[in-house]
Amino acid sequence: MEIYEQETKLYKALSHPARLAILDLLRQGEECVCHMEAAFGWRQAYISQQLMVLREVGLLEVRREGLNIFYRVIRPEIFAVMDAMRQVTGVRPAPKFKIGVCACPNCSGEHEQALIKI
Ligand SMILES: [Zn+2]
């Protein structure tokens, strides 16, 4: 049964609503932790805990830029797994998240401003 261990770890990591939501949010690309706070309304400690699980199984990569911490999916094949599961459950495709007020660099346009200054 050892051959299944690695897969089992991955399924366990996926087996949580918050982590599925985070992965869906990251379909669009890299996002800041503060962006996830704005999207879901969860505490940062809770989000970090979920991100840690996804990172431990090798799905995410983290990047620090100043005060911001960005996460991105490094195994996009996982989205095909999630989509296949949705076909089984009959649940509609990944939702589009409405982001309220968000001060992350992607939302506030700081990235573009920084690029223009250079
Ligand atoms: Zn944002």
Kindly report the CATH number assigned to the domain that includes residue 49.
Answer: 1.10.10.10
Q: How far apart are CA 40 and CA 46, in angstroms?
A: 11
Residue type at 83? D
The reply to whether 57 falls in a domain is yes
Summarize pLDDT for 66-89 with one digit per residue, the tens.
999 999 999 999 999 999 999 999
Q: What is the distance in A from the centroid of ligand 1 to the CA of 84?
A: 28
Q: What is the distance in A from the centroid of ligand 1 to the CA of 102?
A: 5
> Domain residues for 54?
2-88+102-117
Per-residue pLDDT, 112? 52
Q: What is the distance in A from the centroid of ligand 1 to the CA of 108?
A: 7
Q: What is the distance in A from the centroid of ligand 1 to the CA of 99?
A: 7
Q: What is the distance in A from the centroid of ligand 1 to the CA of 22?
A: 13
Stretch 85-107: mean pLDDT: 84
Residue among 53, 43, 52 nearest 9 (CA): 53
Dihedral angle over CA of 100, 101, 103, 106, nearest 10: 40
The reply to whether 94 falls in a domain is no
User: Residue 108's pLDDT band (boundaries 50, 70, 90)?
Assistant: confident
